[in-house]
Amino acid sequence: MATGTVRLHRVLRAPPERVYRAFLDAAALVKWLPPNGFTATVHQLDATVGGRYRMSFSNFTTGPGHAFGGEYLELVPHTRLRYTGIFDDPHLPGVMQTTVELREVFCGTELQVVQEGIPEVIPVEACYLGWQESLVLLGKLVEAEIPA
């Protein structure tokens, strides 16, 4: 069974601590992770190594969606996250693995994302497009400087 990989790179005007937290906070995830046209629900999130998460995306226009979950394999605060992803749908088989690398740079945080093991039936270009949309929303969330 062939699988796909996407690689993304961004520089965000936000400290690594804020970007890292956006990947592990349920309220933040539903704000930025679903691509355009989707909503998200976090059903479980135990942000510890060996901890599990479970969430679902729903198509805002038509209603149907998909659920997925996985395990946190590596959490290095403000630097690196690695986690698995498995779809509930048997037509989307396999285990994906996502690695997120964060590096502080003079203007914020350099972000690199690699997602491997994308099921063959999902066009890699569609996955890449979805991640691009999500990362735009991530930037809007973490780059906002709102006075206390």
Q: What is the pLDDT of residues 24-51, one digit of tens each?
A: 999 999 999 998 999 999 999 999 999 9
Place 5 in a pLDDT band, splitting at 50, 70 and 90: very high
In the chain, the percentage of residues whose pLDDT exceeds 90 is: 88
Domain containing 97: what range? 3-143
User: pLDDT of 127-140, one tens digit each?
Assistant: 999 999 999 999 99
Task: Establish if 84 belongs to a structural domain.
Answer: yes
Q: Looking only at Cα atoms, what is the longest distance across the chain?
A: 51
| CATH code (residue 74) | 3.30.530.20
Any domain includes 99: yes
Return the amino acid letter for 117: G
Q: 96 in a domain, yes or no?
A: yes
- Residue 78 resides in a domain: yes
How far is 124 from 65, CA to CA, in rounded Å?
A: 18
Angle between helices 16-24 and 124-143 (to 10 degrees): 120
Examine residue 81 and state whether it is found in any structural domain, yes or no. yes
Q: Is 31 inside any structural domain?
A: yes
| 148 domain residue, yes or no | no
Predicted confidence (pLDDT) at residue 1 exceeds the cutoff of 80? no
Question: In the predicted model, is pLDDT for residue 2 greater than 70?
Answer: no
Structurally, the chain folds into a number of domains equal to: 1
